[in-house]
Chains A and B, each alone.
Chain A
Amino acid sequence: MKHIVLICHKDHFISGSVNFIKKLFEKEFQVDVLTDHVSVNQIKSLVNVHDSSVFVLWQMEYLAPWLVSKGLKVVVFPMYDGCGTAPNSYFKVLDRTYLFNFSKRLHKKCIGVGVTSYQLNYYPEIKQSNKIFEKKEKLFYWLRRPDSSLAEPIITKLFAPYIENIHIHDRQDAYDIKNDVFQVEDDFISTSIWFDEKEKLETLIATSKYYLAPRESEGIGMAFLEAMSLGCIVFANKNSTHDQYIYHGYNGFLIDFESQDIALIKAQLKEAFDIIKSGKQIGENAKNFINKGVPIWNEQSKRILETLNTISDAKKLKRLSKKEQLAGFILVKLYRKHYRLYFIIIKIFYTCGLFSDKVLKFKFNIIYRIIFKLLKTLKR
């Protein structure tokens, strides 16, 4: 059977957010999952054993230059919330990989730097989406990042005038509950931490009329997309991937939470609730929008599999130069130490012609240009 090595973050594995893609691969491939907590040496030995397998990097694109230099077939799924602000050189070195983007913004960024990517749109198929739930004037708020603009006290204060209840699902990202914001339940606030059965969580969301997208930006945005499919009115920060699916005032609301301008946010929320009160079927529109999108995702997932099959069937690739292999290894080590330094070094490597098609040629006019620039600067 064809083989895939799926490398992802440990959190993806625990939260199960990688499961949908793993299940998709398992339809036609044998999949081994590896998390970023394993050492570089372990990855190295794996590379030697599975040198003809397809390596899928799930938000682990920093490994790509190294794996490509080793002559492996590499498929990359970068996430906007992980590398949305990364410099161009970060994406340029991914040119030899096969790039899939769930975020339209990231896709555009890749295209902008000359790297071809395939844009995906994820539409979840929820079993419960066909059931009819009685919606309460309740906001479902998944507290993931208490240190962001979507912190619990601000949200509670902002939404209080419009809703009867707020349910805080206190399951923060990385499960590192340093900032304990756990609220004492009262008539207005109800809380939860964990549901053993996903259905219970879905029912809770489905019975809430409003849903707040928990992060400022998303890689895919599975949680808010699921809420949309359950007919919730979603409020989300105006950023990727929210702005990819939500059409403000039609199937949800895009609010400038990240601006932290309380007056502006208040005004936007007021406007949003005025639209809701006018009787516009925002939740219904959201549900229909997602349901209509499900065939698109099914088609795209088929294409992912077909592409991976083509990649897997291809002949073994040749390794890049020793220089590039070493540079790739250095980059991996660097990223694990300090990712900002990684960005700087990758730019230097790229400028020097590593992981690119650039052929460095010394030209005399370079000296002329440098002198000219120097004189210009001095003149200023």
Chain B
Amino acid sequence: MNKNKQRSFIVDFGCCLPYGHNLQSVSLYKRKEEDRGRLSKSIVCKRVKSFDIDNKDDFYFSLPTLHKGLIIEGTENVFLRLYVKIIRTLLLFPFVGKNNLLDLKASKSIKKVFKIHNLKREDILIFPSADYYGTKALLKNLKNIKFEDRPRIHLRFIGSLESPHSFYKNNLFELIDLINKNYETLTVSAEVPIYANYLDSIIPDLKVIAEPYPVEVSKNTKNNRTIAKQESFVILLPGSNRADKGYFDIFNIAKEILFQFPSVKLVVQDMKKQNEFFNKKYRKKLSQLVNIELVEAVLPRKKIEELYKNANLILLPYYPDVYHFRGSGIHYEALQNGIPVLARKGSGFIEEINNWSSGWTYETKQDLLFRLKEIMEMDSEVIDQKMENSFKKFKKSSDEAYRFNMS
């Protein structure tokens, strides 16, 4: 790295898969920092090195994979999954004082990052998807560094990796406690407004604001959207599906849509086979429904772009209880591709949809059908205009949040 330039390090312990929003957000933050004239480097899990990803040279692959769920989701190898389950459970036992071995691993790798890159006060450490192990290890490690040598740290909470395991509860408070003790060099943000408000209320010394994804300037709403002029109306349900994303509701939703709007087609991205809720029978039932096109759970970026091009609407039937504090990467992608969304009320990103007018919300199935009718009756030019304005609002909001947190 050029010694005269200020440096930014984008660190993500949750980035252990060659796809998904963790990897994407790391890339986006890296680009955004470079646009600010800083030298930036992304530090992700070692595991990603073995996969074929774009701009591989931009990454440091040095972090261990600590989140069990992500490894299990990412591999079809049954033995590896079983191994991970057993080893992970064993490592969780508190052998050493208050820490378990996974905490020690995280701590070790954070120390390594500090040592190898010789982090100084002028540097910034960004956690675009702050996770439990990484954040905890980082904040604990700060104690060992002189105040004047501490780099600036920016933590962006996304509402999904703050707990190490489903049976641990209230881990967020452990992190908040550490944040409150080390707030001087910290900035904290959350992906969605409702979560930001909550964090703001429990971190009295910092102003926590909502920080959406950094916007990719290369993309804009028009170039993608107006190409698609197909005969039938296409509803897309992108992103590797999960139970909390409403996967098991899709069959009934699709049937209702078939009865009301027989010509409407739904393109559904499948659930990964290794997902603990994967149900072969349900999958077969879904694939046999006449208005559903089921596509692979993991798709290359090109194919995803193609799906976006052909879609008229993106449906997000996410469960509000799980997504209460969570955002949706798909929503940001929809905005960048100029496609409106129709999302279930109660999720964390609903406020964003309302603020940016990037789509509509629904509560019940009847409500969904009613909204769908309205959307289908709308002129495509009106929707294009609406999405163009939404994109502008999204960009403005994203830039403002970025400026606030990084200035």
* Chain A-chain B contacts (Cβ-Cβ < 8 Å), number: 43
Contact check, B263 vs A359: say whether CB atoms are below 8 A apart: no
Interface hit among B174-182, B250-258, B376-384, B395-403: B250-258
B246-288 CB mask vs A (1 if < 8 Å, else 0) is 0000001001101110110000000000000001111011001
CA of A116 to CA of B260 in the docked complex: distance in angstroms?
12
* A-B pairs with lowest CB-CB distance, top 3: A314-B290, A118-B259, A306-B262
Q: Name B's interface SS.
A: helix
Give me 11 other A-B pairs in contact (C-beta within 8 A), A311-B290, A357-B279 excluded.
A98-B259, A116-B256, A118-B259, A303-B262, A306-B262, A306-B263, A307-B259, A307-B262, A313-B290, A317-B288, A318-B288
CA of A310 to CA of B290 in the docked complex: distance in angstroms?
7
CA of A98 to CA of B256 in the docked complex: distance in angstroms?
10
Contact check, A98 vs B258: say whether CB atoms are below 8 A apart: yes
- A307 contacts across to B, CB distance below 8 A: 258-259, 262
- A98 contacts across to B, CB distance below 8 A: 255, 258-259
- A61 contacts across to B, CB distance below 8 A: none
Given contacts A116-B252, A307-B259, contact A357 B281 (CB under 8 A): yes
Chain A min CB distance to B171 (Å): 27
- A118 contacts across to B, CB distance below 8 A: 259
A282-314 CB mask vs B (1 if < 8 Å, else 0) is 000000000000000000000100110111011
A residues at B contact (CB < 8 Å): 73, 95-96, 98, 114, 116, 118, 303, 306-307, 309-311, 313-314, 317-318, 353, 356-359
- B252 contacts across to A, CB distance below 8 A: 114, 116
Contact check, A96 vs B288: say whether CB atoms are below 8 A apart: yes
Chain B min CB distance to A71 (Å): 9
For A96, A303, A310, A359, which residue has the most chain B Cβ atoms within 10 angstroms? A310
CA of A319 to CA of B288 in the docked complex: distance in angstroms?
10
- B279 contacts across to A, CB distance below 8 A: 357, 359
Chain B min CB distance to A101 (Å): 11
Q: Name A's interface SS.
A: loop
- A310 contacts across to B, CB distance below 8 A: 258, 262-263, 290-291
- B281 contacts across to A, CB distance below 8 A: 353, 356-359
Chain A min CB distance to B255 (Å): 4
Chain B min CB distance to A328 (Å): 15
Contact check, A73 vs B290: say whether CB atoms are below 8 A apart: yes
CA of A307 to CA of B290 in the docked complex: distance in angstroms?
10
Chain A min CB distance to B227 (Å): 25
Chain B min CB distance to A300 (Å): 10
Give 9 pairs: A residue, B residue, CB < 8 Å, sorted on A: A98-B259, A116-B256, A116-B259, A307-B259, A310-B263, A314-B290, A353-B281, A357-B281, A359-B279
CA of A114 to CA of B280 in the docked complex: distance in angstroms?
19
Nearest-neighbor residue (CB-CB) of B253 within chain A: A116
Number of chain B residues whose Cβ lies closer than 8 Å to a Cβ of chain A:
17
Contact check, A357 vs B282: say whether CB atoms are below 8 A apart: yes
- B256 contacts across to A, CB distance below 8 A: 116
Contact check, B284 vs A318: say whether CB atoms are below 8 A apart: yes
Nearest-neighbor residue (CB-CB) of B292 within chain A: A314
Chain B min CB distance to A309 (Å): 7
Contact check, B285 vs A96: say whether CB atoms are below 8 A apart: yes
Nearest-neighbor residue (CB-CB) of B255 within chain A: A116
* Complex interface residues of chain B between 221 and 264 (CB less than 8 A to chain A): 252, 255-256, 258-260, 262-263
CA of A300 to CA of B94 in the docked complex: distance in angstroms?
64
- B284 contacts across to A, CB distance below 8 A: 318
CA of A353 to CA of B291 in the docked complex: distance in angstroms?
25
Chain B min CB distance to A93 (Å): 12
- A357 contacts across to B, CB distance below 8 A: 279, 281-282, 285
- B282 contacts across to A, CB distance below 8 A: 357
Chain A min CB distance to B62 (Å): 40
CA of A314 to CA of B256 in the docked complex: distance in angstroms?
17
CA of A307 to CA of B257 in the docked complex: distance in angstroms?
10
CA of A357 to CA of B278 in the docked complex: distance in angstroms?
11
CA of A359 to CA of B283 in the docked complex: distance in angstroms?
12
- B259 contacts across to A, CB distance below 8 A: 98, 116, 118, 303, 307
CA of A309 to CA of B255 in the docked complex: distance in angstroms?
15
- B258 contacts across to A, CB distance below 8 A: 98, 307, 310
Nearest-neighbor residue (CB-CB) of A95 within chain B: B285
- A309 contacts across to B, CB distance below 8 A: 262
Nearest-neighbor residue (CB-CB) of B265 within chain A: A310
CA of A318 to CA of B284 in the docked complex: distance in angstroms?
9
For B252, B255, B260, B262, which residue has the most chain A Cβ atoms within 10 angstroms? B262
Nearest-neighbor residue (CB-CB) of B286 within chain A: A357
CA of A306 to CA of B288 in the docked complex: distance in angstroms?
18
- B290 contacts across to A, CB distance below 8 A: 73, 310-311, 313-314
* Complex interface residues of chain B between 188 and 207 (CB less than 8 A to chain A): none
CA of A96 to CA of B289 in the docked complex: distance in angstroms?
8
- A356 contacts across to B, CB distance below 8 A: 281
* Complex interface residues of chain B between 287 and 330 (CB less than 8 A to chain A): 288, 290-291
B146-173 CB mask vs A (1 if < 8 Å, else 0) is 0000000000000000000000000000
CA of A73 to CA of B290 in the docked complex: distance in angstroms?
9
CA of A309 to CA of B256 in the docked complex: distance in angstroms?
16
Chain A min CB distance to B209 (Å): 42
- B280 contacts across to A, CB distance below 8 A: 359
For A98, A318, A357, which residue has the most chain B Cβ atoms within 10 angstroms? A357
- B262 contacts across to A, CB distance below 8 A: 303, 306-307, 309-310
Chain B min CB distance to A321 (Å): 9
Chain B min CB distance to A380 (Å): 35
